[in-house]
Structure 1
Amino acid sequence: MTPADATGLASELAELAADRALLGRTSTAERVAAILRGRITEGLFRPGVRLSEERIGGALGVSRNTLRESFRLLTHERLLVHRLNRGTFVRVLDVADIQDIYRARRLVECAAVRGLGAPPYVLDDVRAAVETGERAAARADWQELGTANIRFHQAVAGLAGSVRVDDMMRGVLAELRLAFHVMADPRRFYEPYLSRNRQILDALDAGDAEGAERMLGFYLEDSRRQLVEAYPAEPESAAR
């Protein structure tokens, strides 16, 4: 392990330790999995990284059995992969995964907008994500902009008002974040869509769900094509 890797690991574990309070007195594998899923979505754990049971369990203050069960849950969600005699790694996606993720996103996100009733719409979460993204771009914080973009799409799916859709999209969007991690220039993949997020919000604000859905459909197709064209044919990772 290089000094830079050690520094990065220490930072990651410190952030996880801050999540310990979220577990409260009812520490469960599901809650641990939710924390790790959220941290993957935020970009804390990158594709190919081996997850240390001892260090992560210590940071969160949970037993090894609880942590292993949370790993199993996230493996089922296709976020982690277990390698015999090697450990558990954050999964690396391939192009087929990306195509399937966008297929699911189009079905869910566009349907959520299409299913809106009469305006006005409750857009608090959508608006918060757009504004967070704009502030991150002003600071040139491209990782935070990526997280804000993920939250924007989670909020769009949330317009469906379905707990099941929300749960499904959390997993789908966490997977998507793994794809963006292997790209050399994250700014290139996030910044151009920030203004489009604002345009979709403005259309919804104006009560134009049909226009917002149309813009969202073009947006997702452009994003899918851009990512697939630039994605490495063989992303380098120990988890492959």
Structure 2
Amino acid sequence: MAEQLSGLAGDRALLGRTSTAERVSAILRSRIADGYFPPGTRLSEDGIGGALGVSRNTLREAFRLLTHERLLVHELNRGVFVRVLAVEDVEDIYRTRRLVECAVVRGLGAPPHRLDALDAAVEEGRRAAREGDWKGVGTANIRFHSGLVALAGSERTDELMRSVFAELRLAFHVVDEPRRLHEPYIARNVALLEALRSGDLRHAEELLAGYLDDSLERVVEVYRRRVGGDGGGTD
């Protein structure tokens, strides 16, 4: 925990003069998504509050917000922990992704579309793969799909999927086979991007649906071996 707290101290400047629970939760959300606090980690109020220079009440409100987002879980008389998802949670995340992401693609109008964020995410993934940074490939993959969702131009949808993608990262950290998990989807992102660029939305939706189905199968196969069907706690 000492190393994590030292890193958090560097985030203290991000709070500025208007320190709020929302800003603290944003910092912690990012750190959890990056695997800085892996699933099952107990979060110390004193340590994190001291590293960020915020009050106990502010930190508890941030914890409450992240618990509402299903990233943290409060266990009576034990404390607050980074959540460990159950297999059923992973399946529900992908069900939500299929509903939302495919609907976004289906609802796009005629090209051109603003695909700069998707282009950048593809290049980021390729660069990370060349460097053997497979977790970086996973991060680029999430950014690709966040950019895809953003094509809907809906702040509500962006907010919903930000939470969903953050939960998904919890699953990725448990699977811990980043190359096997992420490498196949670099080329599939490229194919999806080209279908969007050409305006063939039916083909793009088919590619996306197949992508999500295959990813779900791959993640659940490994996740079930590592966590089983219970999850939701700190095992």
Where on the TM-score scale, by shorter chain, does this alignment land: which range?
over 0.9
Q: Does residue 86 of structure 2 align to residue 86 of structure 1?
A: no
Answer yes or no: is the 8 Å Cα contact 2:125–2:186 preserved in 1: yes
Q: Does residue 100 of structure 2 align to residue 105 of structure 1?
A: no
Residues in 1 aligned to 2:206 and 2:154: alpha-carbon distance in whole angstroms: 22
Q: Report deviation, 1:114.
A: 1.1
* Structure 2 residues without counterparts, runs of 5 or longer: none
CA RMSD of aligned residues (A): 1.7
Local SS of the residue matching 1:231: helix
Q: Tell me which of 114, 119, 135 is aligned to 2:106.
A: 114
2:7 match: 15
Q: Report deviation, 1:173.
A: 0.7
Residues in 2 aligned to 1:127 and 1:161: alpha-carbon distance in whole angstroms: 18
1:165 match: 157
Q: Does residue 234 of structure 2 align to residue 239 of structure 1?
A: yes
Q: Does residue 171 of structure 2 align to residue 179 of structure 1?
A: yes
Local SS of the residue matching 1:232: helix
Q: Report deviation, 1:141.
A: 0.8
Tell me which amino acid in the other structure corresponds to 2:169: R
Q: Percent identity?
A: 64
Residues in 1 aligned to 2:22 and 2:128: alpha-carbon distance in whole angstroms: 30
| Equivalent residue pairs, number | 232
Q: Report deviation, 1:100.
A: 0.6
Q: Tell me which of 22, 33, 39 is aligned to 1:30.
A: 22
Q: Tell me which of 182, 185, 197 is aligned to 1:190.
A: 182
Answer yes or no: is the 8 Å Cα contact 1:136–1:142 preserved in 2: yes
1:200 match: 192
Tell me which amino acid in the other structure corresponds to 1:165: T
Tell me which amino acid in the other structure corresponds to 1:39: R
Instruction: Give the TM-score of the pair, scaled to structure 1.
Output: 0.91
Answer yes or no: is the 8 Å Cα contact 1:42–1:144 preserved in 2: no
* Structure 1 residues without counterparts, runs of 5 or longer: 1-8
Local SS of the residue matching 2:80: strand
Q: Report deviation, 1:195.
A: 1.1
Residues in 1 aligned to 2:173 and 2:207: alpha-carbon distance in whole angstroms: 26
1:59 match: 51
Label 1:15 to 1:210 Cα distance change in 2 as closer, same or farther (>3 A).
Answer: farther
Tell me which amino acid in the other structure corresponds to 1:56: I
Q: Report deviation, 1:233.
A: 4.8
Residues in 2 aligned to 1:61 and 1:92: alpha-carbon distance in whole angstroms: 28
Tell me which amino acid in the other structure corresponds to 2:221: E
Q: Report deviation, 1:22.
A: 2.2
Instruction: Give the TM-score of the pair, scaled to structure 2.
Output: 0.92
**Farther-moved stretch of structure 1 (22-31 vs 72-81):** 22-31
Label 1:220 to 1:120 Cα distance change in 2 as closer, same or farther (>3 A).
Answer: same
Tell me which amino acid in the other structure corresponds to 1:69: E
